[in-house]
Amino acid sequence: MNRWRLLLTRSEPDCQLQVNYLASLNITAISLPLIEIVPTPETDLQRSQLLDFDRYTTLIVTSKPAAKLILERLDYYWPQLPIQQAWFSVGKATADILKTAGLDTCYPDPSVGDDSEALWASAQFQESLADPHCRTLIIKGQKGRPWLQEKLALSGIPTDTIELYYRKVPNYSADFIIDTITQHNLNALVLSSGEALENLRHLSGDAWQKIAHLTYFVPSARITKQAEELNIKHIINCHGASQSALMNALKNHQPHNLL
């Protein structure tokens, strides 16, 4: 497993935390975040949504940054959080953040997946949506996948969204990315989202083929397909974006390519 030499691309501070964890296992990993998280100023609409937060029966948190930021906002408006609300996240790591505030948060079985589709398929989520008084709030960043919002709309469930941050493309040159890979003799790259892959392709420019032939660890079949469309040949689907999903993939595969 320690033959892998990885380029990690999560946003900070998660990227450096992952580097430190892998270093403790004697696995070489270098941090190169491909997404920067930037909190957005609070709008009048958001203020209204937060003041009336108790009208929502089902809260859906799509990411760890969204979880951290909604807790900060709610701490100001609701020193004591409303009761009898159902909280959901698309993954365990996001749920763990919410649980630190005493919110009993449900998330999909990791063996099924940690994405919107897996959440939608979960029995607890469907039970919450079956409440005749159900009103949902999706807590997220700007843009992102609209899949869950569209499914809720098609089901006729009243749904609002609150966007607490936006994602910024870092300002790396293609030469800097390639130098980082060559200097550390890296043989694989770890992605946690399709947007990170899009950003890497954009930043690489004409040097893309020098980066595309690494092994790519991706979290889902959807991003596997996205990588294939970019002519990436060596793709390993981790079936999840969690640390444990990556570790299982590292254990079960051996590197076969070097830059």
154-208 pLDDT, tens digit per residue, is 999 999 999 999 999 999 999 999 999 999 999 999 999 999 999 999 999 999 9
Domain segments of the chain as ranges:
5-35+172-252, 38-166
* CATH architecture for residues 38-166: 3-Layer(aba) Sandwich (3.40)
Q: What percent of the chain has pLDDT over 70?
A: 98
* 44-101: pLDDT as tens digits: 999 999 999 999 999 999 999 999 999 999 999 999 999 889 999 998 889 999 999 9
Q: What does the pLDDT average to over 20-40?
A: 96
What is the predicted pLDDT for the residue at 108? 92
CB atoms within 10 A of CB 176: 13
Name all contacts of 71-76 with Cβ < 8 Å and 24+ positions apart: 71/97, 71/98, 71/101, 73/42, 73/46, 73/164, 74/50, 74/101
CATH number of 5-35+172-252: 3.40.50.10090
Number of Cβ within 10 Å of residue 43's Cβ equals 11
- Give the integer Cα–Cα distance in Å for 75 and 71: 6
Identify the band that residue 144 occupies on the pLDDT scale cut at 50, 70 and 90: confident
**Cα separations (Å) of 224 from 92, 204, 217, 231, 239?**
22, 19, 9, 11, 10
CB 59 within 8 A of CB 87: yes
- Return the structure tokens found at 249: 């993939």
Q: Could you tell me the pLDDT band of residue 1, with boundaries at 50, 70 and 90? A: low
pLDDT-based confidence at residue 259 (cuts at 50, 70, 90): very low
